[in-house]
Amino acid sequence: MVGRLRALSLLTLLALVAVTAMGGTAAAGGADRLSKIDHIVVIYQENHSFDNLYGMWEGVRGLRDAPRSRTIQVNQAGRPYRCLMQNDVNLTSPPLSARCTDTTPTGTEFSSHFRNRPFVIDRYIPPEATTCPRPGMSAPNGVPNGTGLPGGCTRDLVHRFYQEQYQLNDGRQNRYVTGSDAVGLTMGVYDTRDLPIYEYLHRRGHPKYAIADNFFQAAFGGSFLNHQWLIAASNPVWPDAVNDGGPDDLHSVVDENGMPTNYPLYVSPLDGAVKDQALTASCDPPAGVPAPPPGVLCGDYAVNTIQPAYQPYAPGTPESRRLPPQTAPTIGDRLSGAGIDWAWYSGGWSNANGDVGGPGWTNGTGPTCSDPETIAGATFPNCPNALFQFHHQPFNYYASLAPGTAARAAHLRDEQEFLSLAESSDKSCNLKPVSFIKPVGAENEHPGYASATAGSMHLVDLVKAVEHSRCARNTMVVVTYDEFGGQWDHVTPPGQGGKRGPHDVFGPSTRIPALVISPHLRGSFVVDRTQYDTTSVLATIERRFDLEPLSTRDAAVHDLSGVFEARRPRH
């Protein structure tokens, strides 16, 4: 309908404006060095903002550079909190001492150990703390120390499309606490210097690396959407989605603040009328459903976690709640069309996809799934791990890689195959020109079900696999994170608060960690302050292999060749 296309025309307009705001060119020297790269490896980790994970890395624009105005969090009325409410069971008072008190929007008093400022998570939940849930276990507010598995896990934090826009507060960065189900945990940070990847890159003889400290997630919200932007630089749609207010109507309903739900420190003016669903709010809602306020994106866009039409998807998900196959072009289509080989290597893919006997397969020959860590409800041969994340497999949403196609068999592979290719590269490099790597849940660093330390250790193993092979001499490894995981960062994203840079109605959003390991850098460690977002990864692949951009966004952003012009920071 015309009303539903309203946002698309706005997107096109804003994207064209964004292109004029900042070009996607790079310095000639950087482009020359990029041309010497024959293999690009993208490792896509999970759910951390830059300040949360890399904020203590030397030489970067990190925690010590955060102005008070973008650090102090405010309540729904815009007033600063005295202290941070906590609901992770290991951060509440008790077991911690109470240092201050504050009140909720309804006037209920609460006590907290934490004043209104960032705090170091490791001091309260160290890596050895037994606070991680067992695979498949639900622990909404975390696992009490002493009752779980080791790893120092926290509870999960909300990271969704409309909520993040509220949290950013037009670039003020001061409503992360108010717009979150995890409240004060949003202000927690990790001691960067204790991360295994930090320790590895500070050992004698470490590979050359760059930190990009001005890199933003492509789209507002969570993992599903940012994985889509990583491969397509555009937003998935559900053409003519159900719009009747019934159980299969997956449109969100937002209030006057653009919020779709209530939280401990946020009370919606619409109360029970708000809905936090997989699709954006309807532009033409049915009778009795409030229309979205002006300036809030509406339409049939899939923005929050939704299952794909194809296996593997969460067992038991009805077809009416699975996104129809997408037909927009992806970077895979561009590469294949140019005759350039590529693969998406996912941890646990063989088990989930039913590739019996394939790399990483652990489920025997049937007739049932024999691996004890298989998700409940699985049916042989589709035997996904309990921590396999279906919405982290973006190519599985596209018709061009449907089950049974030659493209799917060639390009959607198990992470174990990548490791085997790297390890067999002692005499020659066997890696494909482009490789995307997606670790399985237990190794991806996602708060709630995974450990930041364990995930960082796995990241080191992946980097070592490349660095110890013949591929290292002409390979660029790009490590970044899909999105912020609901965690605060102090740097205003492009398009927020008038900040310049390529942007549109979908993003970019919160700053995230980005690390590039490659030869041809100007030093053993450099900091690149160029403005990037997730689609800069696509722009880099497109530039290196002479491919057409997928959308106006990846045509407008800087590609990562800027890292080759960066220099060591002054301390």
CB atoms within 10 A of CB 185: 29
Determine the straight-line distance between the first and last CA of the chain, rounded to whole angstroms: 56
* pLDDT higher than 50, residue 5: no
| pLDDT tens digits for range 481-522 | 999 999 999 999 999 999 999 999 999 999 999 999 999 999
Domain regions of the chain by residue span: 48-194
CA distance 420 to 437: 13
At residue 525, does pLDDT exceed 60? yes
Question: Sorting pLDDT into bands at 50, 70 and 90, what band is 93?
Answer: very high
* Residue 197 pLDDT level (bands cut at 50, 70, 90): very high
Chain segment 322-377, per-residue pLDDT in tens: 999 999 999 999 999 999 999 999 999 999 999 999 999 999 999 999 999 999 99
* Averaged pLDDT, 155-180: 98
Least confident of 18-32, 99-113, 261-275: 18-32
- Residue 19, pLDDT > 60, answer no
pLDDT digits (tens, 9 = 90+) for 39-55: 999 999 999 999 999 99
CA 501 vs. chain centroid, Å, equals 20
Mean pLDDT along residues 549-556: 98
Cis peptide leading into residue 312 (ω within 30°) = yes
Cα separation values, 268 from 159, 166, 167, 257, 279, Å: 18, 12, 14, 8, 19
Overall average pLDDT of the 148-158 stretch: 97
pLDDT reported for residue 424: 83
Q: Is the confidence at residue 20, as pLDDT, over 60?
A: no
Give 182-191 pLDDT, tens digit per residue.
999 999 999 9
pLDDT band per the 50, 70, 90 thresholds, residue 138: confident
What pLDDT digit, counting tens, does each position of 204-258 carry? 999 999 999 999 999 999 999 999 999 999 999 999 999 999 999 999 999 999 9
569 — pLDDT class (breaks 50, 70, 90): confident
Angle between helices 452-467 and 415-423 (to 10 degrees): 40
Does the pLDDT value for residue 3 go beyond 60?
no
Q: What is the pLDDT of residue 272?
A: 86
Q: Give the whole-angstrom CA distance, residue 451 versus residue 194.
A: 13
Residue 30: band (very low, low, confident or very high) from pLDDT cuts 50, 70, 90: confident
Distance CA(211)–CA(230), nearest Å, equals 19
pLDDT above 90: residue 264: yes
Number of H helices, E strands in the chain: 13, 16
What average pLDDT does the structure give for the chain? 94
**At which residue do the structure tokens 């088990």 appear?**
351
Q: Is 357 left (phi over 0), alpha (psi -120 to 50) or beta?
A: left
pLDDT digits (tens, 9 = 90+) for 365-422: 999 999 999 999 999 999 999 999 999 999 999 999 999 999 999 999 999 999 999 9
pLDDT tens readout for residues 463-480: 999 999 999 999 999 999
Q: Look at residue 26 and tell me whether its pLDDT is greater than 70.
A: no
452 or 426, which is more confident: 452
Whole-number pLDDT of residue 571: 60
Average pLDDT over every residue of 265-289: 95
- Is the pLDDT assigned to residue 18 strictly greater than 60? no
Is the pLDDT confidence value at 95 over 60? yes
Task: Tell me the one-letter amino acid at 487.
Answer: Q
CA 91, 93, 95 angle in degrees (round to 5)?
75
What is the Cα–Cα distance from 177 to 182, expressed in whole angstroms? Answer: 8
Residue 28 pLDDT: 63
Given pLDDT bands bounded at 50, 70 and 90, which one contains residue 570?
Answer: confident
Q: Output phi, psi for 148, to 5 deg.
A: -120, -160
